[in-house]
Amino acid sequence: MRRTRVIDIDGVKIGGDYPLVLIAGPCVIESEDSARRIAGDLKRISIELGFPVIFKSSFDKANRTSISGFRGPGLRTGLAILNKIGRDFEIPVISDVHAVQEVSEASDALDAIQIPAFLCRQTDLLIEAGSCGKPVNIKKGQFMAPWEMANAIEKVMSTGNEQVLLTERGTTFGYNNLVVDMRSLHIMRQTGCPVVFDGTHSVQLPGGQGRSSGGQREFVPTLSRAAVAAGCEALFLEVHDNPDDAKCDGPNMLPLSQLRPLLLAVKMIDRTVRLEQLE
């Protein structure tokens, strides 16, 4: 299996011969207290299991199904919370940007920039994100073939920034449903960029509840184990201490109580995959 380039996100290395990395956190910042509580839990699990972790949460979810959907605290307040979490817990932080004008402030506060799936073709946004000099995680659009992501990579790298990751998060499969083609992990790795598997958005049922998205979180462990076996460099999981009461994406978020056993399982799978690569 071809080795990918190594991306360094504030000391956490993704790709090459480095072991699996976790990118995790609540879908959106619901409050500073809740975000800090979950970040603290992730840090403790990371230390306990020896599992590198990057904290992710959104300061603004600009693509809600409904006008009444909860979006988060907004750019400046949200970035301040994320930056403080990063400093206090000594953990790298990443978040989404939805517009060119957000990138500069976001890059000052974050260790990496994420491009949402719906915006993975937005040329100006990709170029601006690349120009900030920070690692850029591009989520593959639900409407995109894996080989098409080479064009998104080219847009970012046209700025001279080669620190690019790609995230698989499922493909549209009829109305209000997604399916994961594990071949896409292999195909996207051929670009040389490390590949991330989003185990929680892949079980989302977009707009499935009419005014919000549904989800099938019971399949998160199954797909996550399969993706690590297929070959990915990082696992992206949105987690929450009480997903049923979450303000965003609750149906597809993984309960924090289920994270530790899943990480133990995928860590063993990742180790086996890497041993096979050495043979």
pLDDT tens per residue across span 222-274: 999 999 999 999 999 999 999 999 999 899 999 999 999 999 999 999 999 98
pLDDT tens per residue across span 115-130: 999 999 999 999 999 9
What is residue 62's predicted lDDT score, i.e. its pLDDT? 87
What is residue 3's predicted lDDT score, i.e. its pLDDT? 86
Q: Is residue 201 very low, low, confident or very high in pLDDT (cuts 50, 70, 90)?
A: very high
The Cα 235–Cα 226 span in angstroms is 11
Q: Is residue 31 very low, low, confident or very high in pLDDT (cuts 50, 70, 90)?
A: very high
What is residue 278's predicted lDDT score, i.e. its pLDDT? 57
Q: Which domains does the chain have, with CATH numbers?
A: 7-274 (3.20.20.70)
DSSP state at residue 55: E
pLDDT tens per residue across span 35-85: 999 999 999 999 999 999 999 999 998 888 888 889 999 999 999 999 999
What is residue 241's predicted lDDT score, i.e. its pLDDT? 95
Q: Contact at 8 Å (CB) between 168 and 141?
A: no
**Phi/psi zone of residue 188: left (φ > 0), alpha (ψ -120 to 50 degrees), beta?**
alpha
Please give the full DSSP string across 190-239, using - where no structure is assigned: TTTS-EEEETTGGGEETTTTSSS-EE-GGGHHHHHHHHHHH--SEEEEEE
The Cα 197–Cα 228 span in angstroms is 8
Q: Is residue 178 very low, low, confident or very high in pLDDT (cuts 50, 70, 90)?
A: very high
What is residue 66's predicted lDDT score, i.e. its pLDDT? 87
DSSP state at residue 58: B
Average pLDDT value over all residues in the chain:
95
Q: Contact at 8 Å (CB) between 94 and 112?
A: yes
Pairing of the two strands 171-172 and 178-179: antiparallel
What is residue 1's predicted lDDT score, i.e. its pLDDT? 58
What is residue 275's predicted lDDT score, i.e. its pLDDT? 80
Q: Which of 153-162, 176-185, 205-214, 219-228 has the lowest mean pLDDT?
A: 205-214
The Cα 94–Cα 23 span in angstroms is 8
What is residue 98's predicted lDDT score, i.e. its pLDDT? 97
Angle among Cα 248, 252, 256 to the nearest 5 degrees reads 90
What is residue 65's predicted lDDT score, i.e. its pLDDT? 84
Residue of higher predicted confidence among 249 and 112: 112
pLDDT at 279 over 70: no
